């Protein structure tokens, strides 16, 4: 049976492409149908129609409010009979709202697997992302073969909400590393060190990281087409601060990167790749 897929943005398209490459047939729903007419998939008119045709539906949306809309809109997922249906949600959700999603799907007789993606477009196309999953153990075991088609590393944290919290914690590293690498790059150029050589040296020195490895060529070429946008990292760091507040835990290293990415959004650069924060330091 075909797999359903909702949310064909940059990351969603990459994951859908990977599933197709791995032999899966996809049927899709996207809020703006015109944005997916170039894709060679059967397009459904509503989430309800999609899940009635598919036992497993992936979602890859920007934030929890978009997930909520897909659930509760007219002819949304919750309007369907979800008995025997499974929703694998790859969205980076709010750690509190995702608890409602577990409950809502459970009450409708379906299964919900909270499975945020760690990684962006390039690794997603190759099936090299990391996935952290929360939900019922039996649902995880049944869906693991699907997850293994799109992810290299799969981790299971049973308790609902923990996968979303882990994703936010990971993105503290991601945003902080990117801000530091960007500032180092701009500073090195001010010292008349050629950017390719500078990044090569950082890549075997203190800057060695998956972040630098993934963004070196984009920084050299100043190609800021989005794999992971400034809007997305800003949203995640804001949610991370909500999490820290709920725990009465101050966050020191998250505050400055969050505001730097906020400045990118304010300057109209929110849709650019988050490595474009380099422009703040260069300018």
Name the catalytic one among 167, 215, 235, 258: 167
SS3 of residue 26 by DSSP: strand
DSSP 2: P
263 is known as an active-site residue: no
Which residues face 133 on adjacent strands?
Answer: 156
In the prediction, which pLDDT does 36 show? 85
As a whole number, mean pLDDT of residues 252-266 equals 96
pLDDT tens readout for residues 219-238: 999 999 999 999 999 999 99
Q: What is the maximum span of the chain, computed from C-alpha positions, in angstroms?
A: 64
pLDDT at 1 over 80: no
For the ranges 21-35, 186-200, 214-228, 266-280, the lowest mean pLDDT is seen at: 21-35
In the block, which residue shows the tokens 């025997």?
Answer: 84
Give the domains, in start order, of the chain with CATH numbers.
3-159 (3.40.50.720), 164-282 (1.10.1040.10)
Choose among 84, 102, 85: nearest CA to 93.
102
Kindly indicate the confidence band of residue 124, based on its pLDDT and cuts at 50, 70 and 90.
Answer: very high
Which residues face 42 on adjacent strands?
Answer: 27
pTM of the model: 0.94
């Amino acid at each position: 049976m075909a797999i359903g897929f909702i949310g064909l943005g940059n990351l969603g398209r990459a994951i859908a492409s990977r599933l197709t490459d791995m032999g899966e047939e996809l049927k899709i729903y996207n809020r703006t149908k015109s944005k997916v007419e170039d894709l060679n998939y059967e397009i459904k008119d509503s989430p309800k129609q999609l899940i009635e045709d598919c036992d497993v539906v992936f979602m890859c949306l920007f934030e929890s409010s978009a997930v909520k809309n897909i659930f509760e809109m007219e002819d949304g997922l919750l309007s369907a009979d979800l008995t025997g249906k499974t929703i694998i949600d790859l969205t980076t959700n709010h750690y509190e709202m995702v608890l409602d999603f577990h409950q809502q799907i459970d009450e409708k007789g379906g299964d919900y697997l909270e499975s945020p993606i760690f990684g962006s477009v390039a690794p997603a196309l190759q099936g090299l992302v990391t996935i952290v999953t929360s939900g019922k153990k039996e649902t995880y075991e049944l869906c693991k073969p699907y997850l293994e088609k799109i992810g290299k590393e799969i981790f299971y944290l049973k308790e609902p909400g923990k996968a979303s919290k882990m994703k936010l914690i990971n993105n503290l590293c991601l945003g902080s590393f990117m801000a530091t690498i960007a500032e180092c790059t701009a500073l090195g150029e001010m010292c008349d060190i050629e950017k390719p050589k500078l990044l090569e040296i950082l890549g075997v020195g203190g800057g060695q990281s998956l972040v630098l490895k993934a963004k070196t060529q984009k920084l050299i070429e100043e190609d800021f087409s989005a794999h992971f946008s400034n809007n997305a990292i800003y949203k995640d760091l804001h949610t991370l601060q909500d999490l820290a507040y709920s725990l009465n835990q101050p966050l020191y290293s998250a505050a400055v990167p969050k505001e730097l990415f906020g400045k990118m959004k304010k300057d109209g650069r929110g849709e650019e790749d988050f490595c474009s924060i380099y422009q703040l330091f260069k300018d």
